[in-house]
Amino acid sequence: MKGVSCVSLRIHGIAVFCAIASLAVAEAVFPKPGWKDAPDPLAAPNAVPGGEVSNFSGQSPKSLNYYLDNSVTASDVFSRLFETLLAADPITYEDRPALANKWSISDDQKVFTLWLDPKAKWSDGRPVTAEDVKWTFDAILDPKNLTGPFKTIMEPLNSPDILDERTVRFTAKEVHWRNLEAIGGFPIMAKHAYAGKDFNLIHFEFPVVSGPYRLGEWKEGLYVTIIRRPDWWAIDLPSSKGTHNFQTIRFKFMDDRNNAFEAFKKGELDIYPVYTSRIWVNETSGGAFDKNWIVKQNVHNYEPARMQGWAMNMRKPPFDDVRVRKAMAMLLNRWKMNETIMYNQYKMHKAYWEDLYDAEHPCPREPLPFDKTAARQLLAEAGWRPNPQTGVLEKDGKPFVFRMLERDPAFAKFNAIYAEDLKEVGIRMEVDQKDWASWVKDMDNFNFEMTSCAWGSSIRKDPEMMWHSKTGKVTGGNNYCGFADPAVDALIEQQKTIFDITKRHDICRQIDQMLYDQHPYALSWYADSIRMLYWAKFGTPPTVLTKFGAESGALTYWWYDEDAAAELQDAMANNRSLPKKEFEVYFDKTFKR
């Protein structure tokens, strides 16, 4: 699934004092006095570096440059090659040092100065400099470069000023709570290695990196590997201990999750997060499962629920009419899909941000019902009438026929149910199945009418990238539907200057209601846990995964356990069982600081 994958920390003495004193405005300096780098509270102190993990990574991406391909695979690889200026504390989510060891924020919230850690170096031994920061920022904002979603994030900032080799200052055009997150959160690339190249062609070769891994082998359509760097500049920091443990991480590309599951059972993949309820309920028993050679765990943490459904292109008929969109949503029998295909493992969406609602803030509505009668009435109000001879709905002499752009073969069974219900009311769906690269190209050019997709979320909700009217015109952006509403734009603008997250969430709940009323998506369902399968040869922290993250946390915190691997091999050779691990894992019950 293409998604918002999310877009995720030291100079002391006279030089810093002089730089601070030179500012024209008062400012706050971070980290606060007394802060010291400390061990990661999620990392296991007994983790041992080494070994390999093979991970299913969906379809082959069009690029490993995350700036050009906003996909989960590109994010997983790129974020381990290139570091950001700041990072987020894994428990509090507060900003902490990364490439920058110190930063300041002016009292007017518009000037940000960052000092790069003097230890930070590129893999070729050269220092990470302010020039690298400025070059990367300018590359993102260059109109020639296809960095759409990142342009939206960075546009409120001016190109940074270089104060000296290790000091860079950003000035914002406007106050926005997101500015520091944007400054601290974009991966920095080496100017001396990539300047002069066509940025849009930097896909699979990254000779100079700063992160804990370097690029290994790239086999188009098959896999890519990344290799642990023993010379990573931050490898000996307390916060790095017990993290980034695998010597090799292999991302294997497969078009179909069912095929990936078969490969997993054969041992060709080591980790398999389960997105298919049929597999979770019916196909995780017997053999390796009953003998506990494969570990099955249901992990409950604070990862924000993904939003998923069928996106409608509001830029052109017939989905430019809210009555049609609501009808399409009411013709999606997701309850039947959940019962017959997914074994009632999912909850029905009633919001675009499910985690905004809790006991203190209950959701004010129920999921939109499946209702053909109401859908027919809405379609009639929109001018669609059945042809007496064919039964197909028509308007102005044109039949209601639309193209479902699809790139995930696993969705064929869902689309079949949807198509049957649509057909009964006179709408014909034509499925256009494409590979990932072709699907992305069509989406980038708004060449679609409807498509299925899922989006990750964040603790800090930022509605601008998906729902501001200006983002619906950005090539490669996240506003697939072309959603545009002046009232939503106004609320998005209002929340920009609010630094209290609880108040921003109040505004996001208002936006959520407006989105729900306008139905840019036919919303589907969501899960409130992460279903994990993995071969019993790995060590894991007690929490298994992170507090806020998904299954990719395994690649950061797990390790290859030679003793466990030997025990597994012996058990398989002698057909004996291994001890069973806890099935239900709750973060709050297992985390001990």
pLDDT in tens, 517-561: 999 999 999 998 999 999 999 999 999 999 998 899 999 999 999
Confidence at residue 25, expressed as pLDDT on a 0 to 100 scale: 52
Q: What is the pLDDT of residue 19?
A: 35
pLDDT band at 79 (very low <50, low <70, confident <90, very high): very high
pLDDT reported for residue 26? 77
pLDDT confidence bin for 12, thresholds 50/70/90: very low
Per-residue pLDDT tens over the stretch 185-237: 999 999 999 999 999 999 999 999 999 999 999 999 999 999 999 999 999 99
Instruction: Please indicate, yes or no, if residue 483 is contained in any of the structural domains.
Output: yes
Q: What's the whole-number mean pLDDT along residues 412-427? A: 97
* pLDDT tens column, 86-132: 999 999 999 999 999 999 999 999 999 999 999 999 999 999 999 99
Q: Do residues 75 and 189 share a domain?
A: yes
Q: Are residues 327 and 476 in the same domain?
A: yes
Looking at the 3D structure of the chain, how many domains does it have?
A: 2
The pLDDT of residue 148: 83
In terms of domains, do 317 and 194 share one? no
Encode pLDDT of 337-361 as tens digits: 999 999 999 999 999 999 999 999 9
Q: Would residue 216 count as lying in a domain?
A: no
pLDDT of residue 457: 85
pLDDT digits (tens, 9 = 90+) for 232-285: 999 999 999 999 999 999 999 998 889 999 999 999 999 999 988 899 999 999
pLDDT for residue 22: 39
**DSSP secondary structure letters along 235-292:** TTSGGGTTSS--SEEEEE--S-HHHHHHHHHTTS-SEEE---HHHHHHSS-SHHHHTT
Q: Among the three residues 464, 498, 526, which one is the final residue of a domain in this structure?
A: 526
Where in the sequence is the domain holding 335, given as residue range(s)?
307-526
- Is pLDDT of 20 > 50? no
For 553-576, what is each residue's pLDDT tens digit? 999 999 999 999 999 999 999 999
Do both 18 and 161 map to the same domain?
A: yes
Rounded mean pLDDT of 500-505? Answer: 94
d(CA 287, CA 575): 9
In a domain, 562, yes or no: no
Global confidence as pTM? 0.82
User: Looking at 176-230, which runs of residues are DSSP E strands?
Assistant: 213-219, 223-228
Are residues 177 and 44 part of one domain? yes
What pLDDT score does 408 carry? 85
What percent of the chain has pLDDT above 90? Answer: 87
Domain termination residue (choose one: 179, 201, 223): 201
User: Which of 242, 247, 162, 142 lies closest to 202 in space, CA to CA?
Assistant: 142
Q: Is residue 66 part of a domain?
A: yes
User: For residue 181, what is the domain's CATH number?
Assistant: 3.90.76.10
Domain boundary among 201, 236, 253: 201
The 10s digit of each residue's pLDDT in 133-182 is 999 999 999 999 999 879 988 999 999 999 999 999 999 999 999 999 99
Alpha-carbon span 501 to 507, nearest angstrom: 10
Residues 197 and 63 in one domain: yes
Mean per-residue pLDDT over the chain, rounded = 93
Residue 550 lies in a domain: no
Could you tell me if residue 582 is inside a domain? Answer: no
Does residue 209 sit within a domain? Answer: no
CB-based contact 159:55 (threshold 8 Å)? no
For residue 366, what is the domain's CATH number?
Answer: 3.10.105.10
Per the domain annotation, does 515 fall within a domain?
Answer: yes
H helices of 456-561, in order, are: 464-467, 486-495, 501-518, 554-557
pLDDT of residue 17: 28
Model confidence at 15, in pLDDT bands (50, 70, 90)?
very low
Q: Token pair of 536, please? A: 């019993």
| Predicted local distance difference test score (pLDDT) of residue 18 | 32
| pLDDT at 350 (0 to 100) | 97
Q: In 59-116, which residue ranges form alpha helices assigned H by DSSP?
A: 72-81
Residue 327 has pLDDT above 90, yes or no: yes
Give mean pLDDT, residues 487-500.
Answer: 95
User: What is the CB neighbour count within 10 angstroms for residue 425?
Assistant: 20
For 171, phi then psi, to 5°, come to -120, 125
